[in-house]
C-alpha cells in the first residue's frame, strides 16, 4: 500500500488556555500530543500581563524559547495582525484603524519579523487590508498588492514566508480574491492560508465553500481548521459582525466542507509539501483555530477542553479521508528522557 500523504498538526495556543499563561498554553498542547503551535496572545511570566506576541520584550521572548525547550514545542508561525488595518484613510463607519504604510512597515511589520527571528519561526500569518466598507473589494486588489509585495519582500530578506489568510470583510475575503492577490503579487514567499470557517461564516453553504477553496488551492501554503454552522435565520447584509459569531463547531459538524476539502487536498499534498519545504517549513500545517467558545476580530477561545474536542474531531476527519499525521508517542517521551 502506497504511503499516505502527511500533514503536520498545529494550533493557536492561546485558544487552549483559560488564563493565557505560556505554561498553560504549552502544557495543554503538549498533553494533546502536538509538537507545533502558533503564539498570539500570551502571559509569559504568569503574572497576569497578557500581551500580543509581537509586543513581547526580548527578555520575554528568550523566556518563551526556554519554555519551548522544556515542553518540546516549536513555533509554526507568528499569529500576527499585520494587514488588519485600513487600506485607505477614509471614514467608512467602521472602527478599523488606518496607519501610514511607511510607518506600518517600520513598526508593526518590523516587530513581527523580529519576533519570528527570535522564536525560530519560518512563517508569518497576515491579512489583506480592509477596503472601504460597502465597496467592491476587487476594485482594491491592485492597491493591496503593492503593499503585500513590500511586506513579502521584507519577509524574504529574513527567509520568512508570508501567509495571507482568507477572512471576511477584508479584500481577501474569498478564495477567488485571495488567489487574485497571490497571483498578482508574484512573490514565491507569499502563499495563501485556507480557513473554511472564515468562508462559511459569510453565509455560504458547503458547495460554495468548496468552490472558494478550489479557487485558491494552487496558492495554499497551510490551512487553519475552523468550522461554522450557518444560521439559516440570518439576514445576510454582505458584512460579517465578527463579535456576534456564535456557531463555531468542531471540524466534523459544520458547513465548511472539511471532509470534501481535505479529501481533495490529500491529492495535492505532495506538491504543496515540496513547495513549503523549499521555503524552509517542515511541511504543510493544518492549524487548529476552532473558536469553540467564541471568536472575534483578533482572536478566539476554545479552552483546554474545547481544544481537545477540536483535535479529536480533526483527527477523525483525517483518518476518514486518508491523510496521515502524528501525535506524541512513548518513543518521544523516551527520547526526551534520554533513553
Taking only the tens place, the pLDDT of each residue in 252-277 is 899 999 999 999 999 999 999 999 99
Residue 60: closest CA among 79, 37, 78, 44:
44
Give me the mean pLDDT over the 274-302 stretch. Answer: 88
More confident residue, 333 or 57: 57
- Single pTM value for the model: 0.95
For residue 56, what are the domain limits?
Answer: 8-336
Residue 204 lies in a domain: yes
Residue 30 lies in a domain: yes
Residue 154 lies in a domain: yes
Residue 2 lies in a domain: no
Quote the strand ranges of 14-102, DSSP E: 36-37, 41-42, 51-52, 74-75, 77-79
> Do the Cβ atoms of 83 and 152 come closer than 8 Å?
no
Q: Report the largest interatomic distance among the alpha carbons of the chain, rounded to a whole angstrom.
A: 62
Residue 306 lies in a domain: yes
Spatial distance between the Cα atoms of 178 and 238, rounded to a whole number of angstroms:
17
Q: What is the pLDDT of residue 236?
A: 67
Domains in the chain: how many in total? 1
> How does residue 1 score in pLDDT terms, banded at 50, 70 and 90?
very low
Residue 77 lies in a domain: yes
Residue 272 lies in a domain: yes
Chain segment 195-205, per-residue pLDDT in tens: 999 999 998 99
308: helix, coil or strand?
Answer: helix
Residue 266 lies in a domain: yes
**In this structure, what CATH number is given to the domain that contains residue 297?**
3.20.20.150
Amino acid at each position: 500500500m502506497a504511503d499516505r500523504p502527511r500533514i503536520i498538526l498545529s494550533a493557536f495556543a492561546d485558544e487552549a488556555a483559560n488564563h493565557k499563561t505560556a505554561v498553560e498554553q504549552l502544557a495543554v498542547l503538549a498533553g494533546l500530543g502536538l509538537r507545533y503551535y502558533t503564539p498570539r496572545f500570551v502571559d509569559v511570566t504568569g503574572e497576569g500581563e497578557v500581551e500580543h506576541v509581537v509586543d513581547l520584550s526580548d527578555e520575554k521572548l528568550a523566556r518563551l524559547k526556554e519554555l519551548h525547550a522544556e515542553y518540546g514545542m516549536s513555533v509554526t508561525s507568528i499569529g500576527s495582525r499585520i494587514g488588519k488595518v485600513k487600506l485607505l484613510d477614509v471614514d467608512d463607519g467602521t472602527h478599523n484603524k488606518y496607519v501610514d504604510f511607511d510607518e506600518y512597515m517600520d513598526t508593526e511589520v518590523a516587530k513581527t519579523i523580529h519576533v519570528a527571528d527570535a522564536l525560530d519561526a519560518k512563517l508569518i500569518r497576515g491579512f489583506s487590508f480592509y477596503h472601504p466598507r460597502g465597496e467592491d473589494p476587487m476594485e482594491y486588489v491592485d492597491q493591496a498588492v503593492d503593499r503585500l509585495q513590500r511586506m513579502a519582500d521584507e519577509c524574504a530578506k529574513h527567509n520568512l514566508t508570508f501567509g495571507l489568510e482568507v477572512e471576511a470583510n477584508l479584500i481577501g475575503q474569498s478564495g477567488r480574491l485571495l488567489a487574485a492577490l497571490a497571483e498578482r503579487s508574484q512573490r514565491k514567499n507569499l502563499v495563501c492560508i485556507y480557513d473554511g470557517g472564515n468562508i462559511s461564516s459569510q453565509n455560504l453553504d458547503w458547495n460554495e465553500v468548496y468552490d472558494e477553496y478550489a479557487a485558491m488551492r494552487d496558492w495554499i501554503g497551510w490551512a487553519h481548521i475552523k468550522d461554522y454552522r450557518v444560521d439559516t435565520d440570518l439576514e445576510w447584509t454582505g458584512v460579517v459582525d465578527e463579535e456576534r459569531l456564535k456557531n463555531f463547531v468542531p471540524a466534523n459538524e459544520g458547513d465548511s466542507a472539511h471532509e470534501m476539502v481535505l479529501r481533495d487536498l490529500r491529492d495535492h499534498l505532495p506538491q504543496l509539501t515540496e513547495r513549503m519545504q523549499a521555503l524552509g517549513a517542515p511541511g504543510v500545517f493544518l492549524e487548529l483555530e476552532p473558536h469553540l467558545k467564541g471568536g472575534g476580530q483578533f482572536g478566539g477561545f476554545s479552552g483546554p477542553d474545547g481544544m481537545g474536542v477540536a483535535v479529536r474531531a480533526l483527527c477523525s476527519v483525517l483518518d476518514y479521508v486518508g491523510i496521515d499525521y502524528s501525535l506524541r508517542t512513548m518513543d518521544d517521551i523516551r527520547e526526551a528522557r534520554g533513553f
